[in-house]
């Protein structure tokens, strides 16, 4: 596991390399990652640690109420604060993993985790936009949860409720924040050009194209980019480039969101999925034990807690899947992007396993849960020996064979 050379660290959302042995974050930082690491950086933040979803929305739209409903569960949460922002990490509910735990009765049970951040919007000075001062923080998000007020009749400014308009405004805030960043960077490039310094023309061109889109109110996610442009732009962590889910925080009287077609249509135009969420009810339910939860859901005609639907939605949105490792010591979920090879999946578990990879003994969790025996899966041939290039599937249970 131990590797020599520069140590990658994350600093204000950017991966940088610190010379081994160096401790203070001073000029000893090198902003030149090794090729393998640069590649990883371009692939977006590695969600293997904990997927992080940032809740943003208009004032009083119910962000904190939704955050509470998402994080205050009987299984507990890891709660902290980043300045005025609340941070809560919860276990990803996964029935397959829970069944594997019941089967193996392991010493340690490790579900995947999701971190939610309830973003506190600071008061906005005249002429500034709501998110301008938060771009560094928001740049760290894997995706946004856009909380839209859909309860009550008035919004926080005393205007009639307009969920679609509220969502559009929030998307525009993302656009403004990016536009400011683009203009600042283009200004610097212009300054360098005037001083006769060498300009990265690919960067300048991609930024000019971004500027034109943003000035037209278009989120960067909806612009068509060449591979080269995308590579350049990814390093900026633009907010309007990030995927998002829309959460309509409805009142107790409108659990199906009957009045929300305009919001759904507006969200669709942005390519967002809309989730109906009643923060007040969900918070109440989150506190109940599982059997009482089931009765509660039935009473309200709901299938699943919105918390579960939201996490599953985020996994789909970000193209994430889970594979599992099982044994008496530990039953554990690992989060990877769809399309990950068995070799790369091995690297998630341990770099030694990746290095000494021989084969991945693989069985679908449903097949294992049916026979309840690893050896029976071998006998009925649902257990396969897969090689390095095998594309791991959602719900695979894998035992890696490797040379130590
Ligand atoms: N009836 C009803 N009220 C809600 C619901 N969700 C939130 N509220 C109320 O709306 C108000 C604002 O909710 P918060 O969760 O504090 O909203 P916020 O977006 O975090 O607000 P700020 O952080 O101040 O911008 C509170 O008084 C909540 O009790 C809901 O689903 N139904
Ligand atoms: Mg709040």
φ/ψ (deg, to 5) at 131: -100, 0
Query: Tell me, what CATH number does 384's domain have?
Result: 3.10.20.30
Asked whether residue 130 falls in the same domain as residue 175, the answer is: yes
CA distance 8 to 30: 10
Query: At what angle are helices 279-286 and 306-317 packed, to 10 degrees?
Result: 110
Instruction: Give the atom of ligand 1 at the shortest distance from the alpha carbon of 65.
Output: 15
Please list the residues that pair with 126 across neighbouring strands.
none
Range of the domain at 292: 48-95+112-318
Q: Give the model confidence (pLDDT) of 353-362 as tens digits.
A: 999 999 999 9
* 90 SS3 class: strand
Residue 107 lies inside a defined structural domain of this protein? no
Instruction: Give the atom of ligand 1 at the shortest distance from the alpha carbon of 147.
Output: 19
φ/ψ (deg, to 5) at 188: -65, -40
Asked whether residue 177 falls in the same domain as residue 65, the answer is: yes
Mutate to test the pocket of ligand 1, among 60, 275, 280, 284 (most ligand atoms within 8 A of CB): 60
| Vertex 118 angle, CA 299 and 72, to 5° | 40
Instruction: Give the atom of ligand 1 at the shortest distance from the alpha carbon of 250.
Output: 31
Residue 329 lies inside a defined structural domain of this protein? no
Q: 121: CA distance to ligand 2 center in Å?
A: 8
The pLDDT, as a whole number, for residue 50 is 80
The pLDDT, as a whole number, for residue 226 is 94
Asked whether residue 148 falls in the same domain as residue 244, the answer is: yes
Asked whether residue 36 falls in the same domain as residue 121, the answer is: no
Residue 327 lies inside a defined structural domain of this protein? no
Q: Give the model confidence (pLDDT) of 291-330 as tens digits.
A: 888 888 888 888 888 888 999 999 999 999 999 999 999 9
Query: Tell me, what CATH number does 193's domain have?
Result: 3.40.50.300
Nearest C-alpha to atom 11 of ligand 1 is from which residue?
60
CA distance 344 to 347: 5
Q: 94: CA distance to ligand 1 center in Å?
A: 29
* Structural domain count, the chain: 3
Q: 64: CA distance to ligand 2 center in Å?
A: 4
The pLDDT-based confidence of 76 (bands split at 50, 70, 90) is low
Asked whether residue 194 falls in the same domain as residue 73, the answer is: yes
Q: What is the mean pLDDT of residues 16-33?
A: 31
Structure tokens given for 82:
């980043």
Ligand 1 pocket (Cβ < 6 Å) reads 57, 59-65, 120-121, 151, 249, 251, 278-280
Nearest C-alpha to atom 17 of ligand 1 is from which residue?
62
The pLDDT, as a whole number, for residue 29 is 30
Asked whether residue 305 falls in the same domain as residue 398, the answer is: no
Instruction: Give the atom of ligand 1 at the shortest distance from the alpha carbon of 280.
Output: 31
% of the chain surpassing 90 pLDDT = 66
Exposed/middle/buried for 104, CB within 10 Å: 0-12, 13-18, 19+? middle
Q: What is the mean pLDDT of residues 13-37?
A: 32
The pLDDT, as a whole number, for residue 228 is 93
Question: CB–CB of 274/244 below 8 Å?
Answer: no
Return the ligand number nearest the Cα of 166: 1
Looking at 284, 318, 352, which one is the last position of a domain? 318
Q: 101: CA distance to ligand 1 center in Å?
A: 37
Contacts of 305 (CB under 8 A, 6+ apart): 282, 285, 286, 293, 297
Residue 333 lies inside a defined structural domain of this protein? no
Instruction: Give the atom of ligand 1 at the shortest distance from the alpha carbon of 57.
Output: 19
Query: How many angstroms separate the Cα of 376 from the Cα of each of 11, 98, 247, 362, 370?
Result: 48, 21, 44, 13, 10
Structure tokens given for 268:
């669709």
Instruction: Give the atom of ligand 1 at the shortest distance from the alpha carbon of 59.
Output: 25
The pLDDT, as a whole number, for residue 45 is 52
CA distance 377 to 269: 46
Mutate to test the pocket of ligand 1, among 64, 122, 163, 306 (most ligand atoms within 8 A of CB): 64
Asked whether residue 160 falls in the same domain as residue 286, the answer is: yes
Of the listed ranges 8-22, 69-83, 124-138, 189-203, the least confidently predicted one is 8-22
DSSP single-letter state for residue 45: S
Q: 114: CA distance to ligand 1 center in Å?
A: 22
Please list the residues that pair with 87 across neighbouring strands.
80, 117
Asked whether residue 58 falls in the same domain as residue 29, the answer is: no
Q: What is the dihedral of CA 222, 228, 233, 237, to 10 degrees?
A: 90
Looking at 262, 284, 318, which one is the last position of a domain? 318
Structure tokens given for 249:
């925080």
Q: 59: CA distance to ligand 2 center in Å?
A: 8
Asked whether residue 187 falls in the same domain as residue 283, the answer is: yes
Q: Give the model confidence (pLDDT) of 5-21 as tens digits.
A: 333 333 333 333 333 33
Residue 325 lies inside a defined structural domain of this protein? no
Please state whether beta strands 273-277 and 244-250 pair in parallel, antiparallel, or not at all (unpaired): parallel
Helices (H) and strands (E) in the chain, counts: 15, 16
Q: 83: CA distance to ligand 2 center in Å?
A: 13
CA distance 346 to 61: 42
Nearest C-alpha to atom 6 of ligand 1 is from which residue?
62
Q: Give the model confidence (pLDDT) of 334-352 as tens digits.
A: 999 999 999 999 999 999 9
Question: CB–CB of 207/241 below 8 Å?
Answer: no
Asked whether residue 312 falls in the same domain as residue 359, the answer is: no
Asked whether residue 29 falls in the same domain as residue 64, the answer is: no
CA distance 112 to 270: 29
Asked whether residue 261 falls in the same domain as residue 285, the answer is: yes
The pLDDT, as a whole number, for residue 315 is 94
Is-above-0.75 flag for pTM? yes
* 348 SS3 class: helix
Question: Terminal CA-to-CA distance of the chain, rounded, Å?
Answer: 11
* 87 SS3 class: strand
DSSP single-letter state for residue 132: G
- Average pLDDT value for the chain: 85
Q: What is the mean pLDDT of residues 169-189?
A: 95
Q: What is the mean pLDDT of residues 135-159?
A: 92
């Amino acid at each position: 596991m131990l590797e020599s050379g520069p140590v990658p660290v994350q600093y204000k959302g950017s991966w940088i390399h610190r010379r081994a042995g160096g401790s203070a974050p001073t000029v000893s930082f090198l902003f030149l990652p090794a090729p393998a690491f640069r590649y990883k950086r371009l692939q977006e933040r590695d969600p293997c640690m904990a997927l992080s979803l940032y809740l943003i929305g208009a004032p009083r739209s119910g962000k904190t109420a939704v955050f509470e409903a998402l994080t205050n569960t009987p299984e507990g949460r890891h709660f902290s604060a980043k300045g005025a922002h609340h941070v809560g990490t919860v276990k990803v509910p996964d029935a397959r993993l829970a069944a594997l735990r019941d089967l193996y009765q392991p010493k340690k049970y490790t579900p995947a985790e999701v971190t939610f951040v309830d973003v506190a919007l600071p008061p906005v000075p005249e002429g500034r936009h709501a998110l301008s001062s938060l771009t560094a923080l928001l740049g760290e998000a894997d995706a946004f949860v856009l909380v839209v007020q859909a309860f009550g009749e008035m919004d926080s400014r005393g205007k009639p409720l307009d969920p679609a308009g509220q969502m559009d405004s929030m998307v525009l805030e993302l656009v403004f924040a990016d536009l400011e960043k683009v203009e600042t960077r283009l200004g610097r490039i212009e300054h360098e050009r005037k001083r006769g310094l060498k300009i990265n023309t690919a960067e300048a061109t991609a930024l000019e194209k971004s500027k034109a889109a943003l000035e037209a109110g278009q989120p960067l996610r909806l612009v068509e980019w060449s591979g080269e442009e995308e590579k350049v732009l990814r390093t900026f962590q633009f907010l309007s480039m990030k995927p998002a889910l829309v959460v309509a925080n409805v009142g107790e009287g409108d659990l199906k969101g009957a009045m929300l077609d305009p919001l759904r249509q507006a969200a669709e135009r942005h390519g967002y999925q809309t989730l109906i969420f009643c923060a007040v009810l969900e918070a109440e339910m989150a506190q109940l034990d599982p059997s009482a939860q089931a009765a509660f859901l039935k009473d309200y005609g709901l299938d699943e807690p919105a918390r579960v639907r939201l996490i599953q939605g985020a996994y789909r949105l970000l193209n994430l899947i889970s594979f599992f490792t099982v044994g008496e010591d530990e039953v554990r979920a690992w989060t990877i992007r769809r399309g990950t090879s068995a070799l790369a999946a091995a690297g998630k578990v341990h770099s030694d396993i990746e290095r000494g990879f021989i084969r991945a003994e693989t069985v679908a969790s449903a097949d294992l849960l049916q026979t309840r025996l690893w050896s029976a899966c071998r006998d009925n041939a649902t257990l396969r020996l897969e090689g390095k290039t095998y594309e791991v599937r959602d719900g695979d249970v894998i035992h890696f064979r490797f040379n130590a």
